[in-house]
Amino acid sequence: MQLTPLSSSIGASVTDIVPGDLGDEPIAAELLGALEQFGVLVFGDLHLDDATQVRFARALGQPEILPLRTGDHPEIFVVSLDPEKAASAGYLKGTFYWHIDGATDDIPNKATMLNAIGVAATGGGTEFCNAYAAWEALPDDEKEAYRDLRVVHSFEAAQRLVTPDPTDEQVEEWRRRPAKEQPLAWKHRSGRVSLVLGATSDHVVGLGLDEGRALLARLESWATQPQFVYRHEWQVGDLVIWDNRGTMHRALPYDAKSPRLMHRVTLVGDEAFA
């Protein structure tokens, strides 16, 4: 197995590995270390079936079990904008904005793996940014100013980006998911610090609404500069895993009628926001 960095700050390609190796515990341990180091791991041309993808996920951690079974593997979440292929198609346009999965939970997802079953002819790539590197590159005076700030995250904030003029019924549905206050600068048990930003971030505690939102927008622009970002252009058979705790990600827009189809497995988190 070979690991080759994809940029100076984020991402590595994994080569010289075959699907049969993916459940091997020493290999899984090495990959977990690489995931924390690089943030994103890219496996090209793997063509995993669902059973192998789930077995690999179990070697890396605890897969999330979905409440609605869509096939033989309740760990598999189908990602498509076509409602005939994915029950979640209606809200997936929200993934076109930078975000961290589980930002409204006490414990966010540990990592996510996305398996390309079909790809779009145009668009549909996925971008990732290194939220650790973005924090580390901030000037010291800004780190000091932001270190103790808290941000309120909500599902509603993310959905308003897609539907800016919602009905009362839509707002009521969104608000069934409670908002959650999180640190702007998350100090991890490793000692590293990452920025917690993205589409769910609504306002900064203790700052005026406009002032706080301007700060969040500026920091998101900072964190998603090219030097902190890796863009993956999908090919059928690719598998990509990212460390959800130290990265943000977003899908790039694509035609809902395209054949783009992903099978996603999410690993349950094991580190609370602090």
Tens of pLDDT, residue by residue over 110-147, are 999 999 999 999 999 999 999 999 999 999 999 999 99
pLDDT at position 68 is 60
pLDDT-based confidence at 89, cuts 50/70/90?
confident
Q: Outline which parts of the chain fall under CATH 3.60.130.10.
A: 2-83+103-130+226-267
Using CA atoms, how far residue 30 sits from 2, 3, 34, 59, 130, in Å, is 11, 10, 6, 11, 20
Token readout for 244 is 């959800």
pLDDT in tens, 217-267: 999 999 999 999 999 999 999 999 999 999 999 999 999 999 999 999 999
Task: Please count the other Cβ atoms lying within 10 Å of the Cβ belonging to residue 149.
Answer: 16
Cβ proximity of 127 and 249 under 8 Å: yes
What is the residue-wise DSSP string for 60-108?
HS-BPPPSS--SS-TT-EEE-S-TTT-TTGGGGGGGGS-B-TTTTSSS-
CATH 3.20.20.70 fits 2-83+103-130+226-267, yes or no: no
Rounded CA separation 154/34 (Å): 31
CA distance 132 to 120: 31
Question: 271 falls in which pLDDT band (50, 70, 90)?
Answer: very high
CA distance 117 to 128: 20
Q: What is the pLDDT of residues 181-214, one digit of tens each?
A: 999 999 999 999 999 999 999 999 999 999 999 9
- Supply the mean pLDDT for the chain: 95
The token duo for 81 is 């904008």
Cα–Cα distance measured from residue 180 to residue 84, given in angstroms and rounded to the nearest whole number: 33
Q: With cut-offs at 50, 70 and 90, classify the pLDDT of residue 38.
A: very high
